[in-house]
Amino acid sequence: MSMTKSAITAVILAAGKGMRMKSRLPKGMHAIAGRPMIGHVLATVAELDAADAVLVVGPDMDIVSDYARSVTPDAAIAIQHERLGTGDAVRAAESAVREDCDVVLVIFGDTPLVQSRTLKAMAAACLGEHHVAVLGFEAADPAKYGRLVLDDKEALQAIVEFKDATPEQVAITLCNGGAMAVRRADLFRLLGKLTNKNAAEEYYLTDIVGLARAEGLSCTVITADEADVQGVNSRADLAVVEAEMQKRLRLKAMEGGATLSDPETVHFCADTQLGQDVTIGQHVVFGPDVQVADNVTIKPFCHIEGTRIEEGAQVGPYARLRPGSVIGRDAHIGNFVETKKAAIEQGAKVNHLTYIGDARVGAGSNIGAGTITCNYDGFNKYFTDIGKGAFVGSNSSLVAPVKIGDGAYIGSGSVVTKDVAGDALAVTRPQQTEKAGWAARFRAAQEARKKSGSGK
């Protein structure tokens, strides 16, 4: 059965404050690969053939709602006014779930590694013969996970919490992965039967399975890899999930045609885009919004964010490319060069110890070592425009706003405060003078002072 707009609604539980994170930031807003965890979950939902998304948050979590709407404008927001358990959280979403929805997928905002193929399989199970589908995994160390108890026909019989499990159930390695798919026609009726007669006095979504089986409804398990269901409850969990996400992003990059000289030292953002035949050296970090075209070389120890790098360009080592940078075709950005809101056009070279900010460097221009575009006066930013084929000598300061014409030449050590015409030479350093024999006389005088004891 195809998954149409009315078929699937994903209810994302994101009301957790994450007390163990010891942070003022809601748990779902902590980043994995440069993107909030809730952003990863919303991106996965977006792969479910245009499924509706309903986000359940607490009443004091506008930051989560605002972010969700910024990336998924049509996401509905439901408020869980009191945090009374996962079952209560899903009930809070009832009015936001369309009546013509066939299956509700309940997923968690702090489980960013779950994959769309798994959620599609869960939804398909409920669109088919089953009423409830629970996400399960084979645990290497079941520890205190809830156990999935199957009957003799391999159907899901119950979800048993570790603390309530018998010794035989504790031996089960098939564990609860948290997510659940339920036919809408059954979900909210079953939720209405939940009780909070437990130690925590909460309404548990997991009790749905027992209630469904009591009505003779079919329950099944859809399994995934253990890594896919890793949740985040602490900073240590955050690090584990980050490592797994980076492993996936590195593999994706290499499968897409990039060479990573030392994969484990390259750090990607979730939205990094790489072309083919890209070579990335050791210890390169990509921040958000980076696009790299074909045949680009990024040498070791570079930090890149908010940047587009066009075909054939070379970057690094030790370069920092900040937001708004565009590195043109076959351009060269060398060691200890920083750019910000800068267009480095085709074939231009900025090879050494240079800052280019709020600027254009024209095609084929060469920027010498130690050059600085002085773009900020303490209050406002100003633009530097360097024409094509220009040459800026080493240790020059270009005080914006200023324009360097096509083919102009700036003498080394100059401080340029006025526009320079095309093909002109601009030199602002003082005239060199020389005093013959001065150094020898100076050294002799200093030696004499030492011997006389008058020198320090």
Q: What is the CA radius of gyration of the chain?
A: 31
Cα 218-220-223 angle, rounded to 5 deg: 170
Active-site residue, from 40, 303, 332, 352:
352
Contact 221, 153 (CB under 8 A): no
Contact 111, 229 (CB under 8 A): yes
Strand partners, 174: 138
Residues across the chain: 456
294 Cβ contact partners less than 8 Å away, ≥ 6 residues apart: 275, 276, 277, 278, 311, 312
What number of other Cβ atoms are within 10 A of residue 230's Cβ?
19
Q: How does 79-103 read in b/e, with b if 16+ C-beta sit within 10 Å?
A: bbeeebbbbbbbbbbbebbeeebbb
Contact 361, 345 (CB under 8 A): yes
Quote the CA–CA distance of 392 and 422 in Å, as a whole number.
13
The phi and psi torsions of 256 (rounded to 5 degrees) equal -85, 0
The structure tokens 């030492």 sit at 450
Quote the CA–CA distance of 199 and 329 in Å, as a whole number.
64
Does 352 participate in catalysis according to the annotation? Answer: yes
CA of residue 165 relative to chain centroid, distance: 39
> Which amino acid type is present at position 349?
K
Q: How many CA atoms lie within 13 A of 326 on its CB side?
A: 11
The DSSP result for 154-185, as a single string, is S-EEEEE-GGG--HHHHT--EEEEEEEEEEHH
Quote the CA–CA distance of 201 and 203 in Å, as a whole number.
7
What number of other Cβ atoms are within 10 A of residue 68's Cβ?
25
Quote the CA–CA distance of 432 and 197 in Å, as a whole number.
90
The structure tokens 């015409």 sit at 421
DSSP 391: E
The DSSP result for 231-284, as a single string, is --SSHHHHHHHHHHHHHHHHHHHHHTTEEESSGGG-B--TT-EE-TTEEE-TT-
Q: Give the active site residues.
A: 352
